[in-house]
Amino acid sequence: MAITGSWQVWAILSAVFAALTAIFAKVGVENVNSDFATLIRTVVILVVLAGLVLALGETQPLGSISRRTYLFLILSGLATGASWLCYFRAMKLGNASQVAPIDKLSVVLVAVFGVAFLGEQLNWANWLGILLIAGGALLVTLRI
């Protein structure tokens, strides 16, 4: 399998870019309203993704997409928007080193939601890892 087909490589790259997002966001919201900062970020993402999809020829007819798919993509977009608004507001008010770990509790929630709603199976080691992630995220936020 080519390296570009490895989910692990893409997941690591996602983590690297998410870390950079936190640092860039913290600096970026210093002198601007957090909601307006989120708008600027969203426009940049829209332009870059539109260019990428067009350049790679990855468009498809809108009619070929099911209503169910549209529904869940719209819900995902709404959740993403809400997450970004909350994230930028938190970055405006808090320290990046405290906000980002709490934001990453989404990892714990995804595991719980995956089991509850998608029927995914986790073993005891997986649950232990989830508990350690949750505990670690909370410990990083403490200022003793």
The series of mean pLDDT values per 10 residues for the chain, 144 residues long, is 77 90 92 94 96 96 96 95 94 91 93 96 97 93 79
**Contact present, 141 and 105 (Cβ < 8 Å):** no
At residue 142, the pLDDT reads 83
- Within-domain flag for 80: yes
Q: Decide if 99 contacts 90 (C-beta within 8 A).
A: yes
Query: Cα–Cα distance between 16 and 10 in angstroms, integer?
Result: 10
Residues 108 and 76 in one domain: no
* 30 located within any domain: yes
Given this model, what pLDDT does residue 3 score?
A: 65
75/140 same-domain check:
no
Residue 99 maps to a domain: no
Instruction: Verify that 82 and 114 share a domain, yes or no.
Output: no
User: Is residue 15 located within the same domain as residue 64?
Assistant: yes
Residue 2: its pLDDT value, please? 62
CB 41 within 8 A of CB 84: yes
Strand segments (E) across 54-117: none
Do both 43 and 81 map to the same domain? yes
Q: Examine the domain organization and report whether 11 and 62 are in the same domain.
A: yes
Q: What's the domain range around 122?
A: 104-144
What's the pTM value of the predicted model, to 2 decimals? Answer: 0.84
80 with 36, same domain: the answer is yes
With residue 27 as reference, give the H or E element that holds it: helix 7-28
What is the total count of domains within the chain?
Answer: 2
* 127 is a domain residue: yes
Flag whether 76 is in a domain.
Answer: yes
* DSSP secondary structure letter of residue 123: -
> Is residue 59 domain-resident?
yes
